[in-house]
Structure 1
Amino acid sequence: MLRFLAVVFGLLGAPVAPAAAQDSPRSECLAMSQAPPLATPVGLRRLAAKADEVSITYAGHSTYYIDTPGGLRIATDFSGAYTTGRLPDVVTMNRAHSTHYSLFPDPRIPHVLHGWGDDGKPAQIAERIGDVFVRNVTTDIRRYFSDDSSAEMIRDGNSIFIFEVAGLCIGHLGHLHHKLDETHFAAIGRLDIVMVPIDGTYTMSLDGISDITRRLRASVVLPMHRFATPLDEFMRRIGQQFEIEVRTERTLTISRDSLPGTPTVIILRGV
């Protein structure tokens, strides 16, 4: 009898995973960062259909609005103080202070994502919303609003949010207070566009954030959380391997195909 059952199970094969497990969202950016590089002939790239474009608008402080090809609107570090255009569909927040989050967002916003856990555990976000996959990587944050590097830290109190849309991997470092280790970089994966705080005091030193930016080596770097930081100083520290481009408009419209060939710091109007 046992032999008969073994034969039957052998014919049936391995058990099928539940539908929920099969349909769970996955990160394409992590998959691409871990896969070996593939060379695509130039001729095939030219024949490919034009990639969908994403619009990224600087609203103020550390808030960027991301408008997707599918019509979704996302606001980063949303406090309600920096608005532009229509109400966002998705807002992300970290646990820094009042200029980075709101406990009373407009109730018409359907998706409010906190970068901290409400139950004392790390926030774990991996959601498919419209044409965007949103996920987070937690970091620690100083308990008090201070530039004192020895201040007590709240474990997993901040999140780096990553938005995967139209073949692009877009990261927002949030109110980052410490250097990233190898586990952070592995969890972040590949980034095409990264938004970095350059205040040099309340988040990280310019040397620290410049080191992280060089390590991430995104095609596009969008500064934010600037205060009075001289832009020339950030440009000097970021290194000669990055191009610098100052724009007169607040919005960057970009696609996978139009990413610059050399890593470029793009400074939008208002930054």
Structure 2
Amino acid sequence: MEITWLGHACFQLRGKQVALVTDPFTPQPDSSLGKITAPIVTVSHNHPGHNNIAAVSGNPRVVRGPGEYEISDVLITGIASYHDGKHGAERGRNTIYVIHMDGLVICHLGDLGHTLQEEQLEEVADADVLLIPIGGGSTIHATQAAEVISQVEPRIVIPMHYNPTTDEGLQALNKFCREMGVEQSAPQPKFTVSPTSLPVETQVVLLTPPA
């Protein structure tokens, strides 16, 4: 599987037979989605930075909210969570997605605003790859992200929901790497992973959105 971070919380997962896009965002002056095509789109919550379905061509099937979905041999489980640490009182609900694709389990946390509760952890415990927000503000911050990673114990961690072109975003990334006790690696435009290439211990992979 080829994983590309398009910015914010938007990823393209390209498998052998099918592609999936998470949380397509509304283009900003300093960021653009470009042309993307996928038959499946997941939306973690109905905010403009995450629900720009019109940006994805190919007449995709759109997955919104908790439940179980099977599309083109991709099994997706949506898990209820919150956009803040006050049970949604400030920013509403968020959906975590666990995506079974090409023999891998990918977990996209969306705009998670709290560490995982027991029932959520049961659903995501098998994740091989964890796509996790680290920027704070409207999501969990670096320290909470490290705690969630220790809860899940994935093989691959890819941080998202920070802007690597701003000082604030770089500070969030630096803090996250310190919390994880890892040296910052050089960001790469794409990451390719298969069930046989998964590391034994948790590895942090940094991606860079397209310019």
- Higher-Rg structure is 1
Select the residue among 114, 132, 135 that pairs with 1:178.
114
Q: TM-score, normalised by structure 1?
A: 0.66
**Partners of 1:140 and 1:153 within 8 A in 2:** no
Structure 2 residue aligned with 1:18: none
Which amino acid is 1:74 matched to? Answer: L
Question: Per-residue displacement from partner, 1:76-132 (whole Å, max 9, x unpaired)?
Answer: 1123535356411111112252111136565742311113xxxxxxx32x2222232
| Separation of aligned partners in 2, 1:186 and 1:233 | 28
Q: Which of the numbers 161, 164, 170 marks the counterpart of 2:97?
A: 161
Query: Counterparts of 1:261 and 1:101 in 2: how far apart (Å)?
Result: 35
TM-score (norm 2): 0.83
- Matches of 2:62 and 2:138, distance apart in 1: 25
Q: Is the 8 A contact 2:103 2:195 kept in 1?
A: yes
Q: Could you tell me how far apart the structure 1 residues matched to 2:121 and 2:152 are?
A: 8
What is the percentage of aligned positions where both structures have the same residue? 23
1:235 alignment partner, one of 177, 180, 184:
177
Amino acid at match of 2:111: H
Partner AA of 1:216 in structure 2 = V
Q: Distance between the aligned counterparts of 1:196 and 1:207, measured in 2?
A: 12
* Equivalent of residue 71 in structure 2, options 129, 132, 138: 129
Letter in 2 for 1:152: A
Secondary structure in structure 2 of the residue aligned to 1:255: coil
| C-alpha deviation, 1:207, in angstroms | 1.8
Q: Which amino acid aligns with 2:62?
A: V
Q: Within the alignment, does 1:67 sit opposite 2:67 as a pair? A: no
1:205: which partner in 2? 141
Shift of residue 253 of structure 1? 0.8
* Other-structure match for 1:141: 83
Which residue pairs with 1:265 in the alignment? Answer: 204
Aligned to 1:254: 193
CA RMSD of aligned residues (A): 2.5
Measured in 2, the distance between the counterparts of 1:265 and 1:180 equals 19
Structure 1: gaps spanning 5 or more residues: 1-53, 116-122, 143-147
Q: Against the structure 1 CA distance between its residues 84 and 253, is the aligned structure 2 distance closer, same or farther, given a 3 Å change threshold? A: farther
Q: Is residue 2:99 matched to residue 1:113?
A: no
Equivalenced residue count is: 200
